[in-house]
Amino acid sequence: MSAATQTPDLILHHGLITTLDRARPTASAVAIAGGRFVAVGNDAEIMALAGPATRVIDLQGRRVLPGLIDNHLHIIRGGLNYNMELRWDGVRSLADAMAMLKAQVAITPPPQWVRVVGGFTEHQFAEKRLPTIDELNAVAPDTPVFLLHLYDRALLNAAALRAVGYTRDTPEPPGGQIVRDGDGNPTGLLLAKPNASILYATLGKGPKLPFDYQLNSTRHFMRELNRLGVTGAIDAGGGSQNYPDDYAVIQKLADDGQLTIRLAYNLFTQKPKAEKDDFLHWTKTSKYKQGDDYFRHNGAGEMLVFSAADFEDFRQPRPDMPAEMEGDLEGVVRILAENRWPWRMHATYDETISRALDVFERVNQDIPLQGLNWFFDHAETISEQSIDRIAALGGGIAVQHRMAYQGEYFVERYGLGAAEATPPVARMLEKGARVSAGTDATRVASYNPWVSLAWLVTGRTVGGMRLYPQRNCLDRETALRMWTEHVTWFSNEEGKKGRIQAGQLADLIVPDRDFFACAESEIADISSELTMVGGKIVYGAGRFASLDEGSLPPAMPDWSPVNRYGGYGAWAANGQSQPRVAAPAACGCTHACGIHGHDHATAWSSKLPIADLKSFWGALGCACWAL
């Protein structure tokens, strides 16, 4: 036990605690004061520290883990839009997904859109396909529907095509394709060839939420992450995320003490051919590490220069970066190194990584990079030689589970043998490289950390394909370290968080099942029953529901899909409806309506007013409201 220097505010005892502290890997109790762990030990040791005002929580023998930290999450951008998005993350059948879409269309007022913006793949569906445009038009003849699938395509119904103004006269976009019929009219299919600019530019034409709604939306997104056990993240910026304008919402939440996710943010240039100007300005007006333990500046990237952006779309051939890449990149990296700003750089392919390393090594000859905590993101096809070069320069590699969503496409193009170590996570760790894990959510993969952990442990895609042999998979403890203590180097916070250890920030979770004992097939379905950030309970459910202090007002606007569907897995779990409550519907009907077997005794029944319930069930074709 570490000695406590003050009487604890809170004690949690009678638990099965995985600390990730190699000096004391397990414990049964922890004491918290001032937002930090002050003592970790057995029940007798820790309970002896309690004072008259100490709050005590019985963990009831449950497994406890350090809070999860996502090394690459577009949380700031995602939060601004979360309340507008119909999320298909975790939905197991296209039939259920289309039922959700039809019901949402019925309650979405004009001129709003229904947006399904990433976090899923067609391979997760039992049907192994996307909806057709005809199917979208059938369920939404008048409401614009925009459906984004990974980096490769978007589907727009006829109403959405009218809303964005695409016609036979619309010119073909650079780096993308508007698919047309025999008469030259857009069909509604947009393809990334090879980059996703046309997809995101089209999405950007849709309505936006007002500021107060964006505040509400970001809080709901953070609570959803807390529900899944996420207590921290490194924000990777993102396209159309301008600094400081698009950071005003998260800054206000930070100022008001309403953040429930610890957030380190990187600045992402938005100006092709003017990237140096962005970073020259930012290094003069922003200070690396400015902020506090909840919201702090973390350097540059993931976009450093547009000429080095090799966005992955494994349905397309690997793009060759232009000849000007090195010159553009060197100009920016010198600015960052001179100002001692670390950076992160998006790089899917080893060809890009190798060329970037040539630049970094050249800069290092004049300005030593050691101690800057810079790193590459993604690195799916990185070579052993590049891993060694990164380590020699003092850099790191941040991997994400994009292959869990695109593995089938990679295998189709390059073969199963090439996919066996894409990315070579186990080999990176064997070679002693600094490596951590995350999601790259919310568009190209789900924000659910357990899907990433399942991918690291099982080597399988969300569609069930086995990508990696066992030698390239991780044991559960190593995978957990990839999501906790390993991430802290990437935000220059080593020793401050990531473990349950005296002196570290008191961030922890109690999963709804034992991560170390449950079947591998269950890992992706884990959620948290108790999430604490800085010793404060930000989410409670199940046997800890009475402790929940993080409840929020309803999602704004009132037609938000968040109010109907909640988050990951709320609609479908193991291929069937997942009720949130056991109470009967307001109409008293408790039988299954026969539409995909959905029972009326569900969350929708308890959360929605009668008028919305009629609309919801009526859209599914249920006749009960006519009784």
Quick: pLDDT tens for 153-171: 999 999 999 999 999 999 9
Residue 567 has a pLDDT of 87
Torsion of CA 494, 500, 505, 508, to 10 degrees: 120
State residue 597's pLDDT score: 32
Cα 517 to Cα 68, 257, 398, 511: the distances in Å are: 18, 36, 27, 12
- Domains within the chain, CATH numbers bracketed: 10-66+508-547 (2.30.40.10), 75-207+554-578 (3.10.310.70), 211-490 (3.20.20.140), 579-627 (no CATH)
Is residue 215 over pLDDT 70? yes
Q: Is the dihedral of CA 370, 243, 174, 331 positive or negative?
A: negative
244 cis-preceded (ω within 30 degrees of 0): yes
Give the confidence band of 607 by pLDDT, cuts at 50, 70, 90.
Answer: very low
Instruction: Give the chain's length.
Output: 627
Side chain identity at residue 195, one-letter code: N
Q: How confident is the model at residue 299 (pLDDT cuts 50, 70, 90)?
A: very high
Query: Residue 622 above 60 pLDDT?
Result: no
Q: Which residue has the tokens 């186990």?
A: 426
Give the pLDDT band of residue 582 (cuts 50, 70, 90): very low
**Whole-number pLDDT of residue 74:** 98
Q: Please check whether residue 74 is in contact with residue 108, taking contact to mean a CB–CB distance below 8 angstroms.
A: no
What are the residue ranges of helices labelled H in 176-232? 197-203, 211-227
| Buried b / exposed e along 330-359 (16+ C-beta atoms within 10 A) | bbbbbbbbebebbbbbbbbbbbbbebbbeb
Q: What is the pLDDT of residue 592?
A: 31
For residue 47 the two structure tokens come to: 């309970």
574 pLDDT tier (thresholds 50, 70, 90)? very low
Residue 37 neighbours by CB under 8 Å, 6+ apart? 30, 31, 500, 501, 502, 503, 504, 505, 506
**Per-residue pLDDT averaged across 186-213, rounded?**
95
pLDDT at 586 over 50: no
pLDDT-based confidence at 569, cuts 50/70/90?
confident
Dihedral, CA of residue 543, residue 547, residue 553 and residue 556, to nearest 10 = -50
DSSP 8-state assignment for residue 316: S
CA-based Rg of the chain, rounded to a whole angstrom? 24
Q: Residue holding tokens 């999405």? A: 203
If one compares 614 and 405, the residue with the highest pLDDT of the two is: 405
Provide the 3-class DSSP secondary structure of residue 66: strand
Higher-confidence residue of 616 and 131: namely: 131
Give the pair of three-digit tokens for residue 609. 């007013």
439: its two tokens? 């999601």
Per residue in 335-394, pLDDT (tens digit) is 999 999 999 999 999 999 999 999 999 999 999 999 999 999 999 999 999 999 999 999
113, 241, 275, 460, 530 from 457: Cα distances, Å: 38, 33, 39, 8, 24
Cα–Cα distance measured from residue 336 to residue 331, given in angstroms and rounded to the nearest whole number = 9
pTM of the model: 0.91
Which of 534, 538, 556 minimizes the C-alpha distance to 547? 538
How much is the pLDDT for 4? Answer: 53
Helix or strand (DSSP H, E) at 358: helix 350-366
> Residue 599 — pLDDT band, cuts 50, 70, 90?
very low
3-state secondary structure of 439: coil
Q: How far apart are CA 177 and CA 231, in angstroms?
A: 39
**Cβ–Cβ contacts within 10 Å for residue 186, how many?**
18
